[in-house]
Amino acid sequence: MKRVIIDKKKCTGCGICVQICPYRAIRMTEKKAEYILDECFLCGHCQAVCVVDAVRIEVLESTLGLATVREMTEVVQPGQYDTVCLVNLMRSRRSCRKYSGTTVALSLLEDLVKIGTTAPSGTNSQGWNFTILSTRDDVLSLGEMTAEYFRKLNKQAKSRVLRGLMKIFGHDKLGHYFRNYHDSVAEALKEWDEEGRDRLFHGATACILVTGKHCASCPAEDALLASQNILLAAHAMGLGSCLIGFAVEAMRRTPEMRKKMMVADDEQVYSVIALGYPAVAYARPANRMSVTPRIYSEHH
């Protein structure tokens, strides 16, 4: 069954859809565009580029269906957006480590997920999936499971025998963890256990887990690009956010955690995004170390 339908009556034969199709799924037949395959990767470029609206792809939604943000139908053409504002937004997003405790509306979290899906994905697989934790209790539940994973890991890493054995077999991962993380994790766990201080999620009231399907061509890249969209949109919407790598590590290595978080067997976790209303305002945007790119033509 053809998944891209071209209305020959509307088609003016301009051929632009043929030129931009990355799949070579469209050709010109008697001065009209014709979709010649049964399926392609449904990127929707043919539909988006057609000025007379002659292309229909049923599986693609015409809007994101956002509940808390107005959606525009106009395309921002290259060069039309305010770069100064965009760069400033990017520099103003910081990892938030102090939240007010106010709950984030579920509708807002759902919108963030939808905004995440505007990211590019390898061969347009869109093989991402998301789990939303919308209450502080949900976040604490993930926090406790993460803490439990690190309690066990710290115990193993503390064992000189185990570290030595692993090194003999060519794995110094446990030794590396012991040297670099053991003490700070032990301190954070002590504070979590004895004072209820949350140095993992920093008091966030919500969380979005971003997963990718094993079968996708680039699951990690897809999930991380969607994550960056979520981080930027969250900032624009007044939320603070922080990627929590410790929780990703724990979930990757603990099947029960993935099960509890409804992550399917054919998915991997790529990011855990803590969210909430920030309790601290920054006075200046992010400063970064300077980077000097290698210019190919200067060396060839």
Residues 6+ apart with CB under 8 A from 79: none
Q: Report which of 230, 227, 202 is spatially closest to residue 146, judged by C-alpha positions.
A: 202
The answer to the question of residue 130 lying near ligand FMN (CB under 6 A) is: no
Q: Which of the residues 84 through 103 are near ligand FMN (CB under 6 A)?
A: 94-95, 97
Distance CA 136, CA 201 (A): 10
Q: Which residue lies nearer to ligand FMN by CB, 106 or 236?
A: 236
Q: Which residue lies nearer to ligand FMN by CB, 134 or 146?
A: 146
The answer to the question of residue 245 lying near ligand FMN (CB under 6 A) is: yes
CA 139 to chain centre: 18
Among 25-33, 41-49, 82-90, 236-244, the segment contacting ligand FMN (CB under 6 A): 236-244
The answer to the question of residue 54 lying near ligand FMN (CB under 6 A) is: no
CB of residue 184 vs ligand FMN: minimum separation in angstroms? 11
Among 11-19, 61-69, 77-85, 244-252, the segment contacting ligand FMN (CB under 6 A): 244-252
DSSP 282: -
Q: Which residue lies nearer to ligand FMN by CB, 33 or 244?
A: 244
The answer to the question of residue 151 lying near ligand FMN (CB under 6 A) is: no
How many chain residues bind ligand FMN (CB under 6 A)? 9
CB of residue 240 vs ligand FMN: minimum separation in angstroms? 10
Closest CB to ligand FMN: residue number: 245
Residues 6+ apart with CB under 8 A from 94: 240, 282, 286
Q: Report which of 275, 140, 274, 133 is spatially closest to residue 198, judged by C-alpha positions.
A: 140
Beta bridge pairs of residue 271: 210
32: helix, strand or coil: strand
Token duo for residue 81: 């957006």
Q: From residue 175, how far is each of 6, 159, 168 by CA, in Å? A: 60, 10, 11
Chosen residue from 246, 250, 257, 276 binding ligand FMN by CB under 6 A: 246
Q: Which residue lies nearer to ligand FMN by CB, 244 or 263?
A: 244
Token duo for residue 55: 């292309």
Q: Which residue lies nearer to ligand FMN by CB, 35 or 128?
A: 128
The answer to the question of residue 252 lying near ligand FMN (CB under 6 A) is: no
Distance CA 249, CA 258 (A): 11
155: helix, strand or coil: helix
The answer to the question of residue 226 lying near ligand FMN (CB under 6 A) is: no
Q: Which residues bind ligand FMN (CB under 6 A)?
A: 94-95, 97, 242-246, 286
